[in-house]
Structure 1
Amino acid sequence: MHNWTRREVLALASALSLPAVAGCLGGLRTAPGATPGLLVSNLPRETNPDVSAGALREQVRANTDFALDLHRARVAAEPADNLFISPLSISLAMAMVWAGAKGETEAQIAETLHYAGEQADLHATFNALDLALEPSADAEKDAFRLDLVNAIWGQESYPFDDAFLDTLAVNYGAGLRTLDFVADPETSRETINDWVADQTEDRIEDLMPEGSITELTRLVATNAVYFKATWEHTFPKDATADTTFTALDGAETTVPMMRHEESFPYAEVDGTQILELPYVGDEASMVVVLPPEGEFTDFEAALDADRFHGLVDALEPREGTVRLPKFTFGSKVGLNKTLKELGMPDAFDHDLADFSGMVEPGTEERLAITDVVHQSFVAVDESGTEATAATGVVVGDESAPMDPFTFAANRPFLFAIRHRETGSVVFLGRVVDAAAAQ
């Protein structure tokens, strides 16, 4: 990443759309065009939710468990690839849809996503987390920015349940923007994609792929995360030099390796090195985990939330030398199969899915998830970090010695971008082939 984009951002968007399976549309207006209107709940967003610090910590740990579950599933599908996801975006977008789930569908989603607590408590906790992630008033906006925005898109004149809309308004600040999926699904898709592109500074221009929105679509839930960060200690550009990186398969390649001598939070636990690279303002950081040589695969497979947070807790300021490759890569992956295998198959089954909490009682249509897509991008250089990601879900029918350390990420490593105060993992990734990430 030689130059920042227009706003040097780390951006993320998530979307879930819900089409109908069967039933009568009743009085839906089907005039051509898909100009969005806005159906607003009478309730304002709760800006001071009654959530204890303990409940927030519990959900952050639970979110990390989901992040690592999803990461392992992706590794199983793509064992030789560099990977990057935003579990927080997926969790937030799914939580908005979970607000309308009932019965076994509700239970499976909660277990798969590791939602801690009942519906009302969970939504309030996510609201508190969202608000806690807002940058402080004195944050240097040119060097650090983190925004989370939610939006709900629904079929105009559709009988959405008032309680469902109230939940989204109070906890996610999301009013329902009406579109006419029935008459013009393609224009509706373009409208949603334009909104996502705007929230992500055009880094994600086609979140919802062609064919993902149809005349059966009834609701799309979207979440965008916008992040910009400069290292607290930028790497000297003249210290970057070509260095050998040994990939997961043992292949050796030459990649540009950044170098810095500075005091960083650092720890070594059972041979695993952990390094924290703070961004300006100390509100967020990148944690880099370097398992012992030859042990990456076993370490990655066994990593859970308790161990991850334990590694972070072991960090202490230390003088040392850091070597980290510059890298840039992205991916787009469908998550239907993964989420089913992780424990929520009913949500995708038109005969079993129960999202009746989204609609008024007596509505005959059944809703089910039809597609989940996640797209991501990350770039790391001497100045800082830039990344973007998007998720679309379609629903329808021990202490180290104090000597100077050396941290040389010249072999496979894991990394997480996290909010320091809450410990929330916003992004999670692995670099197992640095040459493929140039």
Structure 2
Amino acid sequence: MDTLSQANGAFALHLYRALSDAGGSLFFSPLSISATLAMVQLGARTHTEKELGEVLRFKQVPDLHSHFQHVVSEISAPTSSHLLKAANRLYGEITFSFLPNYLSSVLKHYHAELQEVDFVGAAEQTRLAINKWVQDNTEGKVRELLKSGMVSAMTRLALVNAVYFKGSWMHQFNKEETKEMPFKINQNVSRPVQMMFQVKKLPLRFIPEQNLQVLELPYEKETLSMFIVLPNESKRGADPLIQLQEDLSIENILDWTDRSKMDVWTDVVVRLPRFRLEQDFSLVDTLVKMGVASLFDEGVADLSGMAGGRGLFVSALAHSAVCEVGEEGTEAAAATGAVASFCMMREEHFTADHPFLFLITHNPTRSILFLGRYCGPP
């Protein structure tokens, strides 16, 4: 893992903890958020640049923006194995004169444009136009990223990113095997879910120190994988995800998901819920609590590398992410040797019938593209 992927991973877990306070299921794209804030960091100076560098771990990455250019290009390369649609853009008030050097740098490193808009005179029309652009760039999956009231005549700069992901499993689940089963929200409450089922040789690892299992479900061509971190159910009534959160570090995540340390020869009986998550966030308050305070303060923000003088600040930071997990996969891969050695090998059971953490990674760079947790149906 290079320094940028490690820095982004550390930020991802920091943000996960900050967003976890709200409880319930959670899904977001830390890499997309990091990339958008990196575009702002290009124009940040003095204390604002320092805050972004510390909270997003940018200061530990040499040649940050060239690194982002390489990683984002590699991850976004067209492929037949999955659909990964991202919409990223900066919208700036037209009365601000943005520096040509800044605009050319954003375009060079992030393939993104800064769009000048009229927040002062036409805030609502601008909001609708931004939402239409996001919808067009996410297969129509994200329909209203900027909610009513999120921008106003006082808005000077809005950061927008939306991500839609749908992958095809390397080994598909047979839809005929999907059955309704109870999902234990906690020790006292269960709700029905559609539980998928398969038996395959899949990378699996037990982490006895943290009392959890880690299963890898690779997508077609194995460029991307979903890792499911399943803590064992607590016998003391405590939320196992809260206990797991205390052990979350980028070092632990990298270790737990290291393919070379996983058992790849044993048949695994997998039960995993079919689910869809769609979440919208306004991240201003969250990032302020994490330590990026000046960026959102009109009188304090220093974005002079973006627009010359002072006075420009970020008044809206919206993020939306959609994830669909279902049976789909490659039929040919699913049929390979499914039964041949089933009775000859020992088997392990991986039953995700209680809350779990999951992450979707880009395997060549070990970048965390998406991070979330599933706590059952609402």
State the TM-score, normalized to the length of structure 2.
0.86
Equivalent position to 1:178, from 86, 108, 116: 116
1:410 has 2:350 as partner: no
CA distance in 2, matches of 1:116, 1:324: 39
Q: Which runs of 5+ in 2 are unaligned?
A: 235-239, 330-344
What residue in structure 1 maps to residue 289 of structure 2?
A: 341
Query: 1:98-137 counterparts in 2 under 5 A?
Result: 98-117=41-60, 121-135=63-77
Q: Which amino acid aligns with 1:211?
A: G
Q: Using the TM superposition, give the Cα deviation of residue 288 of structure 1 relative to its aligned residue in structure 2, in angstroms.
A: 0.4
Q: Which amino acid aligns with 1:414?
A: L
Greater fraction helix: 2
Closer/same/farther in 2, CA of residues 296 and 160 from structure 1, 3 Å limit:
closer
Query: 1:30-69 counterparts in 2 under 5 A?
Result: 57-69=2-14
What residue in structure 2 maps to residue 12 of structure 1?
A: none
CA distance in 2, matches of 1:154, 1:94: 14
Is the 1:59–1:116 Cα contact (8 Å) retained in structure 2?
no
CA distance in 2, matches of 1:179, 1:253: 46
Secondary structure at 2:316 match in 1? strand
Q: Using the TM superposition, give the Cα deviation of residue 230 of structure 1 relative to its aligned residue in structure 2, in angstroms.
A: 1.0
Is the 1:135–1:145 Cα contact (8 Å) retained in structure 2?
no
Q: Which amino acid aligns with 1:340?
A: V
What is the percentage of aligned positions where both structures have the same residue?
A: 34
What residue in structure 1 maps to residue 142 of structure 2?
A: 204
4+ runs of 1 displaced by more than 6 Å?
none
Closer/same/farther in 2, CA of residues 74 and 174 from structure 1, 3 Å limit:
closer
CA distance in 2, matches of 1:257, 1:144: 22
Is the 1:150–1:173 Cα contact (8 Å) retained in structure 2?
no
What residue in structure 1 maps to residue 298 of structure 2?
A: 350
In the comparison of the two structures, how many residue pairs are matched? Answer: 353
Q: Which runs of 5+ in 1 are unaligned?
A: 1-55, 385-401
Secondary structure at 2:271 match in 1? strand
Q: Using the TM superposition, give the Cα deviation of residue 199 of structure 1 relative to its aligned residue in structure 2, in angstroms.
A: 0.5
Per-residue Cα deviation, 1:337-380 (whole angstroms, up to 9, x for no partner): 221111111222222211111113xx3x5122223333333221
Per-residue Cα deviation, 1:53-72 (whole angstroms, up to 9, x for no partner): xxx61111111111111111
What residue in structure 2 maps to residue 379 of structure 1?
A: 324
Is the 1:355–1:367 Cα contact (8 Å) retained in structure 2?
yes
Closer/same/farther in 2, CA of residues 121 and 248 from structure 1, 3 Å limit:
farther
Closer/same/farther in 2, CA of residues 340 and 376 from structure 1, 3 Å limit:
same
CA distance in 2, matches of 1:331, 1:225: 10
CA distance in 2, matches of 1:144, 1:86: 16
1:164 has 2:164 as partner: no
CA distance in 2, matches of 1:375, 1:226: 9
Q: Using the TM superposition, give the Cα deviation of residue 409 of structure 1 relative to its aligned residue in structure 2, in angstroms.
A: 0.7
CA distance in 2, matches of 1:348, 1:219: 10
CA distance in 1, matches of 2:138, 2:311: 33
Q: Using the TM superposition, give the Cα deviation of residue 149 of structure 1 relative to its aligned residue in structure 2, in angstroms.
A: 5.1
Q: Using the TM superposition, give the Cα deviation of residue 226 of structure 1 relative to its aligned residue in structure 2, in angstroms.
A: 4.6
State the TM-score, normalized to the length of structure 1.
0.75
**Greater shift after overlay, 246-255 or 305-314?**
246-255
Is the 1:92–1:223 Cα contact (8 Å) retained in structure 2?
no
What residue in structure 2 maps to residue 16 of structure 1?
A: none
Closer/same/farther in 2, CA of residues 201 and 220 from structure 1, 3 Å limit:
same
Q: Which amino acid aligns with 2:222?
A: D
Equivalent position to 2:226, from 269, 286, 296: 286
How much is the aligned-residue C-alpha RMSD, in angstroms? Answer: 2.2
Per-residue Cα deviation, 1:229-269 (whole angstroms, up to 9, x for no partner): 11111101111112232223542333221110111111112
What residue in structure 1 maps to residue 333 of structure 2?
A: none
CA distance in 2, matches of 1:62, 1:289: 21
Q: Which amino acid aligns with 2:64?
A: L
Closer/same/farther in 2, CA of residues 350 and 221 from structure 1, 3 Å limit:
closer
Closer/same/farther in 2, CA of residues 154 and 333 from structure 1, 3 Å limit:
closer
Q: Which amino acid aligns with 2:73?
A: L
Secondary structure at 1:243 match in 2? strand
Q: Which amino acid aligns with 1:322?
A: V
Is the 1:275–1:287 Cα contact (8 Å) retained in structure 2?
yes
Q: Which amino acid aligns with 2:181?
A: T
CA distance in 1, matches of 2:157, 2:294: 18
What residue in structure 1 maps to residue 314 of structure 2?
A: 369
Secondary structure at 2:319 match in 1? strand
Specify which structure has the bigger relative contact order, considering alpha-carbon pairs within 8 angstroms and separated by 6 or more residues: 1
Closer/same/farther in 2, CA of residues 373 and 158 from structure 1, 3 Å limit:
closer
CA distance in 1, matches of 2:281, 2:92: 25
CA distance in 2, matches of 1:112, 1:153: 23
Equivalent position to 2:25, from 74, 82, 89: 82
Query: 1:385-400 counterparts in 2 under 5 A?
Result: none
CA distance in 2, matches of 1:236, 1:229: 16
What residue in structure 1 maps to residue 181 of structure 2?
A: 243
What residue in structure 2 maps to residue 299 of structure 1?
A: 244
CA distance in 2, matches of 1:308, 1:107: 27
Is the 1:72–1:301 Cα contact (8 Å) retained in structure 2?
no
Equivalent position to 2:253, from 287, 304, 308: 308
